[in-house]
């Protein structure tokens, strides 16, 4: 299992594995049944992402075919919205992590993707184009999270550094700083919903907690 995500309704769970399947589970009233599934095109380690605001329809980003593609689906109908594929000369490698989001002032869905070459790209899903692209790491980006209220994000890689970056009003990404870790390798990064702290899961089996604004280590 490479990814788990609860839907906003609270009784449905998404799970993704390396068996080329993404499953939707019904957990209501003690049930644990798979009620639907999506066949994936890539067997890599890239985790999927959802954009759901409690509506019946929601958006799903999954790794696509060809290694460097991201597929956007409308759920639960599984209708293909688009495929996001970098230009051939970009040489970003495979997408390693995805984060769908929406600005409060703009209904257009956006996607942040971390790539094998250590970069992070911001995609406009409606336009199917890259708005901004920055080099954050020397190793593949393993996970990222984004604070849409502060327009600030963080990413971790197979290396030792966490990268903090921001998004300005022109939708341009900019690296703001890095935080060096003791041991290399980040498996997951999560900013708490109140946007006060963040947690990282490392390859060294340690969970590290930081103050999100200052990046001061807390635990």
Residues 106-152: tens digit of each pLDDT: 788 999 999 999 999 999 999 999 999 999 999 999 999 999 999 99
pTM of the model: 0.93
Give the containing element (helix H, strand E) for 50: strand 49-51
Asked if CATH classification 2.130.10.10 holds for the domain at 3-211, the reply, yes or no, is: yes
The Cα 211–Cα 218 span in angstroms is 7
Mean pLDDT across the chain: 93
Q: What is the 3-state secondary structure (H, E, C) of 132-186?
A: EEEECCCCCEEEEEEECCCCEEEEEECCCEEEEEEECCCCCEEEEEEEECCCCCE
The Cα 60–Cα 194 span in angstroms is 24
CA-based torsion, 7, 78, 53, 215: positive or negative: positive
User: What is residue 30's predicted lDDT score, i.e. its pLDDT?
Assistant: 85
Give the containing element (helix H, strand E) for 114: strand 109-115
Question: pLDDT grade, residue 157 (50/70/90)?
Answer: very high
pLDDT tens, residue by residue, 21-43: 999 999 988 888 999 999 998 87
């Amino acid at each position: 299992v490479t990814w788990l995500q609860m839907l906003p309704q609270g009784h449905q769970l998404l799970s993704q594995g390396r068996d080329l399947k993404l499953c939707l589970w019904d957990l209501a009233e003690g049930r644990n049944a798979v009620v639907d599934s999506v066949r994936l095109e890539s067997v890599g380690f890239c985790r999927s992402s959802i954009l759901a605001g409690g509506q019946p329809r929601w958006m799903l980003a999954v790794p696509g075919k060809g290694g460097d593609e991201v597929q956007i689906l409308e759920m639960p109908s599984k209708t293909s919205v688009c495929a996001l594929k970098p230009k051939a000369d970009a040489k970003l490698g495979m997408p390693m992590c995805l984060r769908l989001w929406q600005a409060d002032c703009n209904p257009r869905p956006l996607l942040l993707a971390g790539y094998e070459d250590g970069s992070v790209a911001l995609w406009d899903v409606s336009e199917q184009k890259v708005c901004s692209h920055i080099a954050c790491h020397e190793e593949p980006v393993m996970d990222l999270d984004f604070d849409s209220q502060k327009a600030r994000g963080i990413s971790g890689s197979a290396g030792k550094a966490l990268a903090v970056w921001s998004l300005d009003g022109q939708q341009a990404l900019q690296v703001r700083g890095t935080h060096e870790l003791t041991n290399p390798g980040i498996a997951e990064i999560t900013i708490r919903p109140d946007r006060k702290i963040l947690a990282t899961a490392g390859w060294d089996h340690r969970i590290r907690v930081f103050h999100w604004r200052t990046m001061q280590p807390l635990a």
